[in-house]
Every structure is written in structure tokens, then in C-alpha cells.
Amino acid sequence: MRYTLQVQYIGKNYAGSQIQFENGIETETPTIQGELEKAISTLIFGDTENINRRFKTVFSGRTDRGVNSTGQVVHFDTDKPIVASKFVYQLNEILPKDISVSNLKQVDNSFHAQKSAKSRYYRYVFINRKCKNAFDGDLMRIKYDINIERMQKALNYLTGEHDFSSFKSSGTLNPSKVCFIEKAECKKDGDKVIIDIVGNRFLYNMVRTIVGTLLEIEGHNLPAEHMKQVLETCDRKKAGQTASPYGLTLMKVEY
């Protein structure tokens, strides 16, 4: 039987969502996947000592160190009967306080958390204020004034299907650099700037590099068309710096 879970987490204490390996051996570096698999195995088997008995999970996509999620989707297989409400409650009691699960469902065996996904929705939030506030947390703070209208115009150049090589990290393994961006919008809520991007797929560090390019436009008072020029070069060196992972959240995955 195949089940899906929705997973929420605060990523600052983890080396990303995916288990880390070194020379083919799993490291002890804490990851979201590692903690989730240990918790599921503990709940069903009573321990995690036997690696062959540990449940394997498949995530809808990887998130980097420091990135959060409210809507990560995971699937796993088991022949053990599961009572949804009881399982979710007990799993949340085992998981660390910065990871939680919800919405357990049984699905068809053909469902795949990553391959069946139609779109992914990311949100990036940063502070636009000169002075710090104790409640800013880990959010990036930009001191100069932000022109939301110019930012939106720049984002408009990204919608549709494009080669996003300019916004990929050198760690991108997938040879395909073409993505379809369904939505790219920004707004200001008080002193917070919120950027929402929805696409069928994202390259490694793509959202954070888009944000970094937006901030380069704003910081140097460049025209919004600079985003179009960067996109068309397919050259990572032309884009802005990769923005901080803090403030980036995987909001939702659609199937």
C-alpha cells in the first residue's frame, strides 16, 4: 500500500530535505528525510537499528539547508495497516519540534510524489526596513527602499516557458534547464516583501537567484528589463547573488 503525507518543517537546523551520503554511506548530518524515516520506522517497527527495515520515503522535491516547508509531499510504501488519525498523532509526537506531518492518505501505487507533481509553489519573504526588530528572526533585511511596481514588472518577464540557466546553481544535476513559470508575483505587507512563484519545476537555487537578481535591480536602480536581459543570456554570471535560504518556503505541491 502506498501512502502520502504532507510535511511541514523549519529548515534552519537541517542540511536540507534529502538524506546526505558520502562515499555511498549515509552521513549523520541531520536532514528532514532522515528524521522522518527514523520516526516512521520507530512507530511501525519500534526501532531504527536495522537499516533494511527502515522505511524509505520519496519527496516531491528537495529543499536546501535553511529552507522551510508548509506543503512538502512525501510518499512511502508499507504492508502494515495504518489508521490515519492515530498514525499522524503518534508520528508528530516522535518527530522533532521543528518538523510536523498532516493529511495522511492512501493513494494508488502509480502515484509518485515527485514525478506526479504538476506544479510547485514557493514563497520568499524579506524585511524592507532600515532598523532591525527583535522579531525579524532569520529573515533577510533590505535597508534601501523597494519599488514593488518595478519588481513586478521584472518578474513578469519570467512567466511562461524559458531556459532558466541564468538562475541555476552549479550544483544542478538535471541537464534540462527549461521550466514553465505559471505565476510570479510580489507584494508588500507592511515592512515585509512577499514574492510568490509557481512553476512546474525549479532548478537548484533558482528561486533564491531570482530574488537576488531582483535585489540587484533594486539596489542599483536598474530598469526592470534587466531581468529579461539576464534571462536571455543563459549565463549564471549575469544574474544576482543567491539570496539567503531563510525566508524561502515551499508552500504547496499540486497534482
At the top level of CATH, the class of 2-107 is alpha beta
Q: What is the pLDDT of residues 53-96, one digit of tens each?
A: 568 999 999 999 999 999 999 999 998 888 888 999 999 999 99
CATH of domain 119-254: 3.30.70.660
pLDDT, position 52: 56
Q: Where in the chain is the domain with CATH 3.30.70.660?
A: 119-254
Position 45 pLDDT exceeds 90: no
Secondary structure letter of residue 56 according to DSSP: P
Q: Is 47 a catalytic residue?
A: no
What was the pLDDT predicted at 53?
Answer: 57
User: How far apart are the two ends of the chain, measured CA to CA in Å?
Assistant: 19
Cα–Cα distance measured from residue 240 to residue 255, given in angstroms and rounded to the nearest whole number: 32
The one catalytic residue among 64, 145, 189, 191: 64
Distances in whole angstroms, Cα of residue 8 to Cα of each of 63, 95, 244, 251: 12, 11, 20, 9
**Pairing status of strand 21-22 against strand 25-26:** antiparallel
CA distance 198 to 110: 25
pLDDT at 15 over 60: yes
Is the pLDDT score of 192 beyond 90?
yes
Q: Are 41 and 47 in contact, with CB atoms under 8 Å apart?
A: yes
Amino acid 48: pLDDT: 54
Domain span(s) for CATH 3.30.70.580 in the chain: 2-107
